[in-house]
A and B are shown apart, each in its own frame.
Chain A
Amino acid sequence: MRERQVWLAVLALGLMVLPWHNTVPSGASPFMPSALGLAADGRGWLWPLVLLLPLMFWAGMRDAAGQVFLALAIGGFALLLAQGFVVGLRGPSLDWVAGVFPTSTQGQTGFGWGGFVTGVALLGLIAHALALRGFCRGDRFAGSAVVFIVALLGLFVFFPILKLALAAFVGPDGELAIGPFLARLFAPEIWRLDCLTGGRRCGVVINSLVLGLLAATICTTLGLALALIVSRTSFRFKQTLRALSILPIITPPFVVGVAIIVLFGRTGLITGWGAELFDIRPTRWVYGLTGILMAQVLAFTPITFLVLLGTVEAINPTLEEASQTLGAGPVKTFFKITWPLLRPGIAAAFLLAFIESLADFGNPIVLGGGYEVLSTRIFFAVVGARYDLGNAATLAMILLSLTLIAFWLQQRWLGRKSYVTVTGKSDAGLASTLPFGLKGVAWAVVVPFVLFTLGVYAVVLVGGFVHDIGRWDLTPTFAHLNTAFAFEISANGVQFFGSAWNSMQTTLIVSAIAAPLTTLVGIMTAWLVARQDFAGKNAFEFGTMLSFAIPGTVVGVSYVAAFNVPPVDITGTAAILVICFVFRNMPVGMRAGLAAFAQIDRSMEEASSTMGAGGATTLRRVVLPLVKPAVFTALVYSFVTAMTAVSAVIFLVSARHNMATAYIMGRVEAGEYALAITYSTVLMIVMIVCIVLIQLIVGARKLGRRREFQGQTTPAE
């Protein structure tokens, strides 16, 4: 009742008071730039929306739970979208609209505050009407959450992808046709196999696939070896290795590539030693497949390691003990029992690394040389001199299809992964140790990898603070730090001179806004999926999971395709950066949330609701305190990813809102490696400080009641 009136008031505000467009369209001179004013000024297609207000008021008074009210709210929302999409910047896309409303040929600009607020109010009214009709067991808060999250996912995940798919069909004269799409899809530079026969280079899809398969194979092998060493030998630095495996996550994207160039480039350190000691002629061998592969192995092995460690540790030791009591030796037990149980985990890790490799942008752009992959080709088709959105869209669709197939395979595998069962009973058995021969193999695989990692991070650690690491000039200096982050404290306050301050500030602000929003959306979505029942829930869950599989490059180019033009033109703003991060990283928050909810007795929330608490109160007072670890994970992950993301952001930064990673990429392209490394080091330190801060803020209350997580309400006695 009161809620309905609030939403109706918001609707009135959006339609009658706030400026409808983001800039007043040319040719219009209304007394007021709101929808009402514009309609009165002769823009007749806005009248139906304005008239919606009294209609909804009347229908609400009559029967808010009735079909008429709901139909009006949904119809109004459809109308809002329709008028925005049909009447574009250059007039209507449908001829009859121009006939009925002659003024519409003057066109209209994108939604301003009025348009957005109207949309929000209509969504709120839809949710209200649905809740009154029993949607989400009548819980208004949950109902609203579903409606708003669906609308947001629709606008910021699926609409851009759809728009991008359409762009792949747009011909040179702006017409929609299958011909240009087919021409782009079957272009020889995408598919050709010339590299196999010698001669020229292979197509870009072939390049991507070769890279992805190689990277996934190597990462999975290394990850498995590490996991086996950590869990099945008397390895003592288990916790250290686990902690170190988060290092690549907080490593800014280009720094590993730069370090590899510093070590192995034509004038690199190791190349130099090779030339001196063994008289190997320095070449540019590291640029291309080899270099990208090295960087990706470094970056993605920790991911496969964590996945496989989970799988190895989940194997019930009693199974192996049973095998041994039945007369199998350690080697036979490993290959007959342990290995088959590991296989689903290995498949999952492989596909994960494959997806990451395909989606990777930072390493190929630094180390690719002439070796082009899908993500870099897409980037150059949009940002380079030959701007060709149609081509970029086609390539993006191919990339998306590849990752979706891999994602689908992975889900299938994980879905069937029923071997590893968690029964909740304690398994008294001890995990058997690795057979001796295998142990040797594992160490032989792992040692070079660890040395390589140490070398790369040593360069990163030292590189920023010496004169020129690339030429082995190790004179300590703060010159690079000074270039980037010089400041002066004078009578007028602090003045920032360094060239990096601007991007650093934007990055911190955008990340600090995006992280809590991402967490909120992610945990809310998890809560809806885990705890609410509503029509279309399966599709909802599928949709949110799907957004996880879209590579950053595809997101970036789809945002360019969708949000450069009305009705929602927001490119060049800081908001689009925040939005991009929220919907890219939301699935991680969702997964953390889902895992947490699975461990919490659902009846606690039901108890709260029988005591009179609505969904929002229950969420705040019961759920959030119990899922605090998931909140922490989501906050840290979304913050760190926002700080280090590059693939989507690179399309969306502008001169006003530049991000740290884009700035670093500029330095790398200009060959200023030391500066790039310095900035990366500072970024890593800032991130660690921020993680500690988040821990203090989120974890503070936990310390006061440390016992709360020890015993849930288990049947005691």
Chain B
Amino acid sequence: MTDEIAIEFADVTKRYGTAVAVDNISFSIAKGEMVTFLGPSGCGKTTSLRLIAGLELPTTGVVRIAGRDVSQRAASERNVGMVFQSYALFPHMTVLENVAYGPVIRGEAKASARTRALEILEQIGLSGLSGRLPSELSGGQQQRVAVARAIVQQPDVLLFDEPLSNVDAKLRRKVRGEIRDLQKRFGLTAVYVTHDQEEALAVSDRIVVMQSGRIAQIGSPRDLYERPASPFVADFIGDANLISGQVSDGRFRAADLDLPMTGAEGAAQISLRPERIALAPGDGSPSGKVLSCTYLGSRWEYEIETGFAELLTSRPMTEPPIAPGTRVSLTIPDTAPIRVA
């Protein structure tokens, strides 16, 4: 990874009539980095990806790829590779023709384009299928052809638009690993769009969390999980208990909850991860009542009624279950709460 900037957005806005899809966002992506746009549907993540591809042009602002201003350049005039949600393989061309399409279009001789396509197909483990039509491949194979087609021209940036949404749930973990390996092996700059936070945490160097057209937070997966900057991010990345209260004299207080907390005094909100709340039958402070206890195979999940919020907690299988209706006292480590507002 170098510090060279591959993609840069400067005050980019995209409007459709009066609707604002992307609202004045700025960020930059370093060469060789894999960045994910994450957010709920309608947050502007796909539009941002399409702005990089040139499938949409910004209403205002500047998009730079490899240092070049491409704001008003059509997709065909940028050097990007894209893997579509539906794969978008050409049904009337063979696998080889699909992969060789880009080089041929860009003026490469047919023979060398074929050679290059075959090389990529081999590296990606599909060399035996080059003569098949897309309709004769499995979903996973189609997905890999789509990736091969996108990287054959050594693009400045490789774009993924929810590439796993059509892959079988069991295969997803494997395929996303392959994508990450490939990106590292070829040293590609990649931008990945998903609404699945687990997928985002698994594949990214950095994640851009988006909310209604704006960037909510940019950071490494660990940053976002451990130090969310807003209630939205805390809630969107993993599960979070959001608790509102007051900060004074270096303590956060809400009902019988009392935790050490630095920072500005006054109204505040904290996030507590479910796995960081320990439970024991009893009536200490803070305390609550078990509403439900659910067996999830790898852990127990509890809903606890307390004086300050309804809490979600999860406990390892090694602990004995606690029956609903039981009064419990809660143990929260001082490092567990993260102030988000």
Could you list which residues of chain A lie within 8 angstroms of chain B, going by C-beta atoms?
A: 65, 132-134, 137-140, 601, 603-604, 606-614, 617, 621-622, 625-626, 705, 707-713, 715-717
Contact = CB atoms under 8 A, between A and B. Distances in A.
Given A132-B72, A610-B55, A708-B133, A138 B88 contact: no
A610 B84 CA distance: 11
Given A601-B86, A610-B82, A707-B135, A626 B91 contact: yes
Interface stretch (B100-108, B208-216, B251-259, B281-289): B100-108
7 contacts: A603-B85, A610-B53, A611-B106, A713-B86, A713-B88, A715-B86, A717-B140
A705 B102 contact: no
Contacts of A140: 74
Nearest 9 Cβ contacts at the A-B interface: A711-B135, A611-B102, A715-B166, A138-B74, A603-B88, A607-B88, A609-B75, A717-B139, A603-B84
B54 interface: yes
A716 B168 CA distance: 9
B79, B86, B137, B138 — most chain A CB neighbours (10 Å): B86
Contacts of A711: 91, 133-136
Nearest to A65: B72
B81 A610 contact: yes
A617 B88 contact: no
A29 B168 CA distance: 80
A138 B77 contact: yes
B91, B135, B138, B150 — most chain A CB neighbours (10 Å): B91
Contacts of A705: 92, 133
B75 A610 contact: yes
Contacts of A601: 86, 88
Contacts of A713: 86-89, 91, 134-135, 142
A65, A608, A625, A709 — most chain B CB neighbours (10 Å): A608
A645 B135 CA distance: 43
Contacts of B74: 137-140, 609, 614
Interface string B118-158: 00000000000000011111111010000001100100000
Contacts of A717: 138-140, 168
Contacts of A626: 91-92
B72 A716 contact: no
A137 B53 CA distance: 11
B248 interface: no
A705 B77 CA distance: 32
A346 to B, nearest CB: 36
A65 B102 CA distance: 28
A138 B86 contact: no
Contact of A134 (B53, B72, B136, B159): B72
Given A705-B92, A715-B166, A611 B86 contact: no
B56 to A, nearest CB: 7
Contacts of A710: 135
Contacts of A708: 91-92, 133, 135
Contacts of B56: 137
B55 A137 contact: yes
B77, B135, B138, B139 — most chain A CB neighbours (10 Å): B135
Nearest to A601: B86
B84 A716 contact: no
A139 B91 CA distance: 24
A136 to B, nearest CB: 8
B88 A612 contact: no
Nearest to A600: B91
Interface of B: 53-57, 72-82, 84-92, 101-102, 105-106, 133-140, 142, 149-150, 153, 159, 166, 168
A675 to B, nearest CB: 48
A616 B122 CA distance: 31
A625 B57 CA distance: 28
Contacts of B88: 601, 603-604, 606-607, 713
Contacts of A607: 82, 84, 88-90, 149
B72 A133 contact: yes
Contacts of A604: 88-90
Given A625-B92, A713-B89, A610 B133 contact: no
Contacts of B87: 713
Tell me if B's interface is mostly helix, strand, loop or mixed. loop
Contact of A612 (B90, B91, B105): B105
A79 to B, nearest CB: 28
B79, B87, B153 — most chain A CB neighbours (10 Å): B87
Contacts of A613: 76, 101, 105
A330 to B, nearest CB: 42
Nearest to B97: A621
A630 B133 CA distance: 22
A63 to B, nearest CB: 13
Nearest to B16: A533
Contacts of B86: 601, 603, 713, 715
Contacts of B76: 139, 609-614
Contacts of A712: 91, 135
Given A611-B101, A711-B91, A716 B106 contact: no
B106 to A, nearest CB: 5
A716 B54 contact: no
Contacts of B53: 606, 610
Given A612-B153, A711-B135, A606 B82 contact: yes
Nearest to A701: B92
A132, A133, A137, A607 — most chain B CB neighbours (10 Å): A607
A586 B138 CA distance: 40
B75 A716 contact: no
Contacts of A625: 92
B74, B77, B149 — most chain A CB neighbours (10 Å): B74
A603 B142 CA distance: 15
A5 B87 CA distance: 38
A621 B81 CA distance: 18
Nearest to B72: A134
Given A607-B84, A713-B89, 14 more contacts: A137-B74, A139-B74, A606-B88, A608-B90, A610-B78, A613-B101, A617-B105, A622-B90, A626-B91, A708-B92, A709-B91, A711-B134, A713-B135, A715-B166
A707 B135 CA distance: 8
B75 to A, nearest CB: 4
A711 B91 CA distance: 8
Contacts of B54: 137-138, 609-610
Nearest to A712: B91
Nearest to A142: B74
A78 B73 CA distance: 29
A137 to B, nearest CB: 5
Nearest to A625: B92
Contacts of A715: 86, 139, 166
Nearest to A624: B92
A716 B78 CA distance: 31
Given A603-B86, A708-B133, A716-B139, A612 B102 contact: yes
A138 B89 CA distance: 24
Contact of A138 (B72, B135, B149): B72
Contacts of A137: 54-57, 74-75
Contacts of A65: 72
A252 to B, nearest CB: 38
A603 to B, nearest CB: 4
A677 to B, nearest CB: 45
A603 B159 CA distance: 13
A714 B76 CA distance: 25
A266 to B, nearest CB: 60
Contacts of A138: 54, 57, 72-74, 77
Contacts of B77: 138
Nearest to B70: A138
A603 B162 CA distance: 13
B54, B72, B75, B139 — most chain A CB neighbours (10 Å): B75
A608 B89 contact: no
A134, A601, A608, A715 — most chain B CB neighbours (10 Å): A715
B9 to A, nearest CB: 17
